[in-house]
Amino acid sequence: MRWFGPATIVVVFSVIIFGDPKADFGFCTGNPEEHCFREWVSATSGWFAGVAAFISIALLARQVKDAQMQYQSAEMQRLEAQANIARQIINAVAAVRITIDARRRELGKLKADPADTRALNRCLGVMETGINDFSRRAFDDFEAITWPGHLDIQQVRSGMKANLNYMKTVRDMALKQTPDWRQWIDDMLVTIGDTGIEHQSIYCNQLELLANEMITRWSTAVAGRSNR
């Protein structure tokens, strides 16, 4: 109701000036041929128009400022939400890297002694742990807000599950001493050890890069807002 006071003044002034037929006595000499009151109203109408224009511009500027503040607030909330998801994916990637390193070590032991079925079983265990690590929701949430690159989480998960089934088949062949089982192990070491781990490492590197960029954008926005 901030406009009520000024509006009341304008209405009262208009009634006094335009509602009283004798109002022209205050402005004119009384000569019937004079048009001074009409000229006075014409002159002052420009002032009223200027005041109205000024008020309109002030209100419009306030609306624009409010809209800008709302947009900036919404943008800050969006960047903050992205930064939170980025921090979660960095933690998830750190956990995945631990299992990747463990799998690399166990596969190295198996490569040194392909007949060591215990090493093969340990590789299976580490592979299952890696699948669980990649099953974290953080990966899905992160890919919902950005494109990870030529590899996505569904490809990584399906590839790891296929490799796990492959390893189980090779283990069964080794336990049964199936002909050419050693060759199967050699092939498995290439497929799972070299290619599989490389793809997963590339995927993790890409996620870390994107996550750090999101956190940087959020930090820059916060710093810029603090300096205003």
In this prediction, residue 28 has a pLDDT band, given cuts at 50, 70 and 90, of: low
- Report the pLDDT value the prediction gives residue 100, as an integer from 0 to 100: 93
d(CA 8, CA 25): 25
Please answer whether residues 110 and 120 qualify as being in contact, where contact means their C-beta atoms are separated by less than 8 angstroms.
yes
Residue 138 domain flag? yes
Residue 71 domain flag? no
CB burial string 188-203: b at 16+ within 10 A, e below: bbebbbeebbebbeeb
The answer on 101 and 9 residing in a single domain is no
Average pLDDT, the chain: 81
- Report the pLDDT value the prediction gives residue 73, as an integer from 0 to 100: 85
The answer on 80 and 27 residing in a single domain is no
Residue 70 domain flag? no
- Cα dihedral 216, 218, 224, 225, rounded to 10, equals -170
The answer on 160 and 86 residing in a single domain is yes
Instruction: Choose the weakest-confidence range: 7-16, 46-55, 85-94.
Output: 7-16
Q: What is the tens place of the pLDDT at every residue in 198-221?
A: 899 999 999 999 999 999 999 998
Domain, as residue range, for 212: 76-226
Residue 29 domain flag? yes
- Report the pLDDT value the prediction gives residue 39, as an integer from 0 to 100: 62
Q: What is the tens place of the pLDDT at every residue in 159-185?
A: 999 989 988 998 888 888 888 888 888
Q: What is the tens place of the pLDDT at every residue in 116-143?
A: 888 888 889 999 999 999 999 999 999 9
d(CA 158, CA 152): 10
CB atoms under 10 Å from CB of 218, counted, come to 20
Domain end residue (candidates: 65, 90, 117): 65
- Report the pLDDT value the prediction gives residue 12, as an integer from 0 to 100: 47
Domain end residue (candidates: 38, 65, 92): 65
The answer on 190 and 96 residing in a single domain is yes
Flag whether pLDDT at 62 surpasses 80. Answer: yes
- Cα dihedral 97, 196, 200, 107, rounded to 10, equals 0
**% the chain with pLDDT above 70:** 78
Residue 87 domain flag? yes
The answer on 211 and 104 residing in a single domain is yes
The answer on 90 and 50 residing in a single domain is no
d(CA 213, CA 95): 20
The CATH number of whichever domain residue 123 belongs to comes to: 1.20.1440
Q: What is the tens place of the pLDDT at every residue in 65-106?
A: 888 888 888 889 999 999 999 999 999 999 999 999 998 898
In the three-class reduction of DSSP (H, G, I as helix; E, B as strand; rest coil), residue 35 is classed as coil
- Report the pLDDT value the prediction gives residue 195, as an integer from 0 to 100: 83
Please answer whether residues 79 and 218 qualify as being in contact, where contact means their C-beta atoms are separated by less than 8 angstroms.
yes
Domains held by the chain: number: 2
The answer on 131 and 106 residing in a single domain is yes
- Report the pLDDT value the prediction gives residue 216, as an integer from 0 to 100: 95
pTM of this structure: 0.70
